[in-house]
Amino acid sequence: MLNLATPSIFMKLLQSLALIYSLGLSQLVFADLPMISDMKVMAHPPGSTVTAGFLTINNISTEPLVITGVSSDTVTRIEMHESVIKDDVATMDKHDELSIAAGEKMELKHGGLHLMLMDLESPLMLGSTLAITLHTNQGDIEVKMPVVKPGMKHGHGEENVGTPEPSMKH
């Protein structure tokens, strides 16, 4: 009886060890990768070719994180913008780079920093997911952005403030 049971217990033990080992290893390898949260892309009306994307980037590493560009297989052009008011006029500054100090968090949100998705050739469907790549000094980071309804409540009463409108000049 014991002889029959032993190999399977032994195998289970081996599998557990292998699992623990691979988990431990992946944590070692990925411990410093930036953490991305609150990602979303605004669905846009038919006919418009621009929309905005938002996300929060947490640089948990001990090195500065510099985002040097953003790309996607499905979006022709993605720029890093910041909504600003100049002489009472809402406008957007383009950033070539975004730097996040070690241990710091950067929020791209309504009315501030955002990703500008431009020259859209096909509409981004509500409920779909857009894959984008952040190019950084710490390597490429793949991010899946859920496409959501514009003007969705976020609980701080700021929706649509400074939201890039398709008619806005770039």
Closer CB to Cu ion, residue 113 or residue 141? 113
CB of 88 vs Cu ion, minimal distance in Å: 18
121 phi/psi in degrees, rounded to 5: -95, -30
CB of 38 vs Cu ion, minimal distance in Å: 18
Closer CB to Cu ion, residue 33 or residue 43? 43
Closer CB to Cu ion, residue 12 or residue 95? 95
CB of 58 vs Cu ion, minimal distance in Å: 23
Question: Given the rule CB under 5 A, which residues bind Cu ion?
Answer: 81, 92, 116, 164
What DSSP string describes 9-76? HHHHHHHHHHHHHHHHHHHHHHTTSPEEEEEEEE---TT---EEEEEEEE--SSS-EEEEEEE-SS-S
**Residue least distant from Cu ion (Cβ):** 81
Closer CB to Cu ion, residue 16 or residue 48? 48
Instruction: Tell me if 106 sits within 8 A of 114, measured CB to CB.
Output: no
CB of 109 vs Cu ion, minimal distance in Å: 13
Task: Report which of 62, 67, 72 is spatially closest to residue 82, judged by C-alpha positions.
Answer: 67
Question: Which two three-digit tokens encode residue 155?
Answer: 């609980």
